[in-house]
Amino acid sequence: MKRRERQIQSEIAYHLDRVTQNYIAQGVDPAEARRRALLEFGGATQVTEDLRDVHRSRWLADLRQDLAYAARNLRRSPGFLASAVLTLALGIGANTAIFSLIDALMLRPLPVVHDPGALVQLVRVIPGHCADCRLSYPLYEYFRDRLTSVANVFAVLDIAHSITVDGVDEEVNGDEVSGAFYAAMGVAPAAGRLLGPQDDAVPTPVAVISYDFWRRRFGCDPSAIGKTFSYATTVLTIVGVEPEGFTGIEPWRTRQFTTPLSMSDQLGGGDGSWKKQWDMNNVESMARLKPGVSMTQAKAEMEAVFGAWRTDKVRLITEGPLYRARFLQERGAVLPGLSGLNGLRVEFLRPLTILMGIVGLVLLLACANLSGLLLARAAARQREISIRRALGAGSGRLTRQFLTESLLLAAGGAAVGFGAAQWFVRVLLTMMANGDALALQAAPDWRIFGFTAAVSVLVCVLAGLAPGLSAARVTINPALKRVRAAGGHPRMGRVLVVVQLAISMTLLVGASLFIRTLQKLYHVDTGIRTGDVFLFSVSSKHHFAGARTTEIELALVDRLHSLPGVVFATAANVVPLSGGLWSRQVQPEGYTFHAGEDDSAAFNAVAPEFFGVTGTPLLLGRDFNRHDNADSPPVAIVNQRFAREFFGGRPPLGRHIVSAKTTYEIVGVVKDAKYEGLRQGVPRTVYVPWTHQDDAAGKNRSQPMGFSYMARVAGGDPLRLAPLMARAVPEIEPAMRMYYAHTLEFSIDRTTLNERMMATLGGFFGLLALIVACLGIFGILAFQVSRRINEIGVRVALGATRGNIVTLVLREVVLLLLPGCAVGAVAAAWLARFAGSLLYGVTPTDPMAFALAIGALAMATLAAGFLPAMRAARVDPMTALRCD
Amino acid sequence: MASDKSDLLQGTLDMLVLKILALAPAHGYGIAQRIQQISGEVLQVQQGSLYPALHRLEKRGWLKADWHESETGREAKFYSLTRLGRKQLDAETANWDRLAAAVELIMRTAE
């Protein structure tokens, strides 16, 4: 291009020089000669531009022409333009939104971090249970000392607590990190220093704060270094500030500071024993691949190292054979750490993948719909097209014309859709946050722009190709004659409607499967009355001694009980149906476990009136009372299943259970109730009095912070108790605050996030699909009716009744509906298998779901067909026959 | 512009260029000069449209261009006819003859 430009310049210069020389030779003075030469030439700039034009590609010039033509054309039918752009915006917007989430969760590298692609997460995998299980501290050390393919192995514990800075309290999130954390991240401090290996060796009460926290609380003042804040009973000194934009390894979580992991026990009131327990899995661990080491190599080494660990530790297992078998299934794994920890990714991978499939179908549907509209327009423009053909427009050029039109529409759809996607992403993120804060960065980046662009091009081709090809086939002669001929390509139009119906059918089946899942889930008999229950937890600045603990706990329950409208008040270690489970081995009196039999039972430590709050009837014996305390003989209440399986028909009361070296006497039996969640079955359950509850290690008396306090109210909004308790808690103990005040229903809803999300979004897209399919049916029928007006006129003239005519038109709907439903049903049956684990109580081929989808589709499309049918029925035979 | 000079008929410039180049390769200035000379100073080439025409013909493959030294000793772009160009010239000549004869016929008969 550069070279051609130079050549053009020198060619013109040569010409001008020669003309000038010529005039000079004739005796004209040089300046005047030059002037005349330029004048004669007609403006060197204009000619240069003309020459450039000659070399510009033909297709570019054509494209400009096509674009102008298409724009003119579209401006002339604003209704079509609006509906086409909206349909496409819907398809493109939904795809962009879901892709934005996938991008944010899985593709976006950790900001600020050096070479995030080399980061990996070290996890345990328990098949069927978790793909990214945490590690025990000893296992982290084992990996750190043995893995050679990675460097800078570090461990992290996330903490949340209230701190006091300059006399002001604030709830904060933090990370306790081991020494290699910042080295692995490869970041430099914005001020002061970061934590390093020296902080591992000697526990020092120091903290590094985040840049945002530095700005918010200290106005980016360097003198913040050296300041202190109090965390529980410890005073931490700020030694440094993280670089701006650094998010740690969980970008979705807003965090304010890090402290050395070596400070963990001092901050949390532990005794350090957890760091020696090989099976106390509570830390996250990441590392950096050494240069030149591939992921495959790292994985292979991990297999071997974890294998050695397993062989080493399996000997230490004292629990039963089931526990041992489960441990032997454990594997070590290396996961990519580009976007930080994999927790959210693992949680949302399946729903997001399915949603991506759903919105992909929505996009296809939008394309088929637009294609149908374009086809109808092409039919209406036949005369114009054949004139252009007669004037010599090539069929390639005509096809391109249509593609240009759909390109313009796709661009419009992309612009509107991109805007809509931003809104949609916010809605989805609120949904996914599930009542918490989710600071996930989903602002558009180049990948999202690229994705949207690619989708738009796909739309353009898919939607524009059919009408373009059909235009290219227009024959000149018949169309030029003013005949209301066969018109357009009805076959292609019908195929497109069948495609739309099939896609709608698929989406509707999906929607009804997800909605029925949610329905079944919420109608399952849990044995618990979930309504009218208020619950809350407390946080505290410090721990309490044994006697004070009991005093506070009793005061909390008493105060809760005294609030207006409260019928029962209690406390429990685990809130039922909220995803928590505490399970221990048991030895029921007189029962012998056979080899391989599960010897565990679900435990819960509860206060008196627990069964009143949950609405679970006590069948035999008595509830706990205030006399069941730490000094009285240990007692327990079991559920029916426990009694049935371990004692058969014999009376359970008075029998004993041994667990964790304590012998409990059974004093009551309650009706079966679910425990962990709606999806899980009823476990064998043992309830013990809360005053007997020990911590996991069985050493420390648990703290008031370890319980959830629950109350059943007589009616009205249970949350009205929240402000009352918020005031009451600090009155009982000034170091304590109420937090997580919710209803039991809300707590259960949090466990059904994926199901609710799929039902809501599946239903939403299913409804949209239905609307789009109706529009498609309406369009094609209206078109056909107008085409068959003569024929209908003849029929009416020959004595057809209105009913006959309506039936005639609606028969068309049925003819389209049958193949549409059939294809859609097959596709849905095949696709629904992928949703398997997200379903509950329905099989992927649930006949009810398919029947619902067919019913909805049939009713909606027949309704859509009714309007054109009525129009056909009102045809006046005289007018119809006179018309051409 | 003097009244005894005529502008070129639309579409004939291409043909004239091909014809001139059929005689010998030339640069743009030379082509303009020669058209003027041969037509006895009757035809005036619009220099501004000559060069785009040359480039267009080159792009169509009817002309090819080389840079070499001109009579003044300076490098200039010389155009020459390709085989395709020669064929095109034949076609245009035949066409021209027919057109000229037809115009002639009308002019005479209508007198």
pLDDT of A630 strictly over 90: no
> CA–CA separation, A542 vs B31, rounded Å?
100
Average pLDDT score over residue span A30-38: 89
Chain B residues with CB inside 8 Å of A51's CB? 51-52, 55
In the predicted structure, residue B111 carries a pLDDT above the cut 70: no
Structural tokens at position A834: 């992928």
Selection from A319-323, A765-769, A792-796 with the highest mean pLDDT:
A765-769
Q: Mean pLDDT of all residues in chain A?
A: 86
Bigger pLDDT: A392 vs A657: A657
pLDDT confidence bin for A486, thresholds 50/70/90? very low
Which chain B positions have a beta carbon within 8 Å of A55's beta carbon? 55, 59
Give A781-836 pLDDT, tens digit per residue.
887 787 788 888 888 888 888 888 888 888 888 998 999 999 999 999 998 888 87
CB contact under 8 A, A40 and B47: yes
Partner A contacted by B46 (CB < 8 A): yes
Q: Name chain A contacts of B52, Cβ cutoff 8 Å.
A: 47, 50-51, 53-54
Q: Rank A68-77, A325-334, A785-794 by mean pLDDT and report only the highest.
A: A325-334
Is A9's Cβ below 8 Å from some Cβ in B?
Answer: no
- Note the pLDDT tens digit of each residue in A527-552: 999 999 999 999 887 778 778 888 99
Secondary structure (DSSP) of A812-869:
HHHHHHHHHHHHHHHHHHHHGGGGGGG--SS-TT-HHHHHHHHHHHHHHHHHHHHHHH
Q: Residue B110: what pLDDT? A: 61
As a dihedral over the C-alpha atoms of residue A515, residue A519, residue A522, residue A523, rounded to 10 degrees, the angle is -170
Give the residue from chain B lying closest to A19, CA to CA. Answer: B29
DSSP A248-277: TT-TTS---EEEEGGGHHHHHT--SGGGT-
Q: Which residues pair with A164 in a beta bridge?
A: A169, A230
Is A625 strand, coil or helix? coil
Tell me which amino acid residue A3 is: R
- A49-58, A646-655, A738-747, A845-854 — which is least confidently predicted? A49-58
Whether A50 contacts chain B with CB within 8 A: yes
Is pLDDT at A406 greater than 90 in this prediction? Answer: no
Q: Do B47 and A43 touch (CB under 8 A)?
A: no
pLDDT one-digit tens code per residue, A554-608 = 999 999 999 999 999 999 999 999 888 888 888 998 888 887 778 889 999 999 9
Per-residue H/E/C for A2-61: HHHHHHHHHHHHHHHHHHHHHHHHCCCCHHHHHHHHHHHHCCHHHHHHHHHHHHCCHHHH
User: Residue A600 has what pLDDT?
Assistant: 85
Burial class of residue A807 in the structure, from the number of CB atoms within 10 Å of its CB (0-12 exposed, 13-18 middle, 19+ buried): middle
Q: Give the pLDDT band of residue A680 (cuts 50, 70, 90).
A: confident
Please provide residue A414's backbone torsions phi and psi, each rounded to the nearest 5 degrees. Answer: -65, -40
pLDDT of residue A721: 94
Please count the other Cβ atoms lying within 10 Å of the Cβ belonging to residue A523: 10
Least confident of A439-443, A476-480, A663-667: A476-480
Determine the Cα–Cα distance for residues B28 and A13; give it in Å rounded to an integer. 11
Choose among B28, B48, B56: nearest Cβ to A11. B28
pLDDT digits (tens, 9 = 90+) for A345-394: 888 888 889 999 999 999 889 888 888 888 877 777 777 777 777 766 66
Mean pLDDT calculated for residue range A673-700: 77
Q: For B11-56, how does the pLDDT look when each residue is reduced to its tens digit (9 = 90+)?
A: 688 888 999 999 889 998 899 888 888 887 777 777 778 888 898 8
**B64 Cβ under 8 Å from any chain A Cβ:** no
Whether the per-residue pLDDT at A412 is higher than 80: the answer is yes
| Least CB–CB distance from B47: residue in A14, A42, A53 | A42
Mutating which of A3, A5, A12, A14 best tests the B interface, going by the most B Cβ atoms within 10 A? Answer: A14
pLDDT at A695: 46
ipTM: 0.87
Least confident of A112-126, A225-239, A464-478: A464-478
In chain A, what residues touch B32 (CB-CB under 8 Å)? 15
Closest CA to A555 of A731, A317, A325, A361: A731
- Please tell me if residue A41 touches chain B, with a CB cutoff of 8 Å: yes
Whether residues B59 and A54 touch (CB distance < 8 A) is answered with: yes
- Are the Cβ atoms of B67 and A7 closer than 8 angstroms? yes
Bigger pLDDT: A160 or A640? A640
pLDDT number for residue A334: 95
B70 at interface of A, judged by CB pairs closer than 8 A: yes
* Of residues A122, A126, A178, A139, the one with CA closest to residue A278: A139
pLDDT reading at A55 higher than 80: no
What would the pLDDT profile of A176-187 be if each residue is shown by its tens digit?
999 999 999 999
Three-state helix/strand/coil letters over A674-723: CCCCCCCCCCCEEEEEHHHCECCCCCCECCHHHCEEEEEECCCCHHHHHH
Q: Which of B28, B48, B72 sits opposite A43 (nearest CB)?
A: B48
Q: Which of A171-180, A487-496, A804-813 has the lowest mean pLDDT?
A: A487-496
Is a pLDDT exceeding 70 seen at residue B2? no
Q: How far is B103 from chain A (nearest CA, A)?
A: 26
Per-residue pLDDT, averaged over A447-468, amounts to: 81
Lowest-confidence pick of A212-216, A357-361, A473-477: A473-477
pLDDT tens figures, A730-766: 999 998 889 889 999 999 988 888 888 889 889 999 9
CA of A388, closest CA in chain B: separation in Å?
24
A128-159 confidence digits (pLDDT tens):
778 889 999 999 999 999 999 999 999 999 88
Give how far A395 is from chain B: nearest CA, Å.
Answer: 22
Q: Do A50 and B70 lie within an 8 Å CB cutoff?
A: no
Q: Determine contact: B6 vs chain A, CB below 8 A.
A: no
Q: Which one of A24, A50, A55 makes the best mutation probe of the B interface by having the most chain B beta carbons within 10 Å?
A: A50
The pair phi, psi for residue A765, each rounded to 5°, is -70, -35
Sign of dihedral through CA atoms A142, A143, A148, A151? negative
Selected residue of A3, A15, A20 to mutate for chain B interface (largest B Cβ count, 10 A)? A15
Is residue A305 within 8 A of residue A146, CB to CB? The reply is yes
| Minimum-distance CB partner of B56 among A43, A47, A54 | A54
A46 interaction partners in chain B (CB closer than 8 Å): 48
Distance from CA of B41 to the nearest CA of A (A): 15
Determine the residue of chain B that is closest to A4 in CA distance: B55
CB distance A50–B48 less than 8 Å?
Answer: yes
Q: Do B74 and A11 touch (CB under 8 A)?
A: no
Which among B28, B47, B52 is the nearest to A54, CB-wise? B52
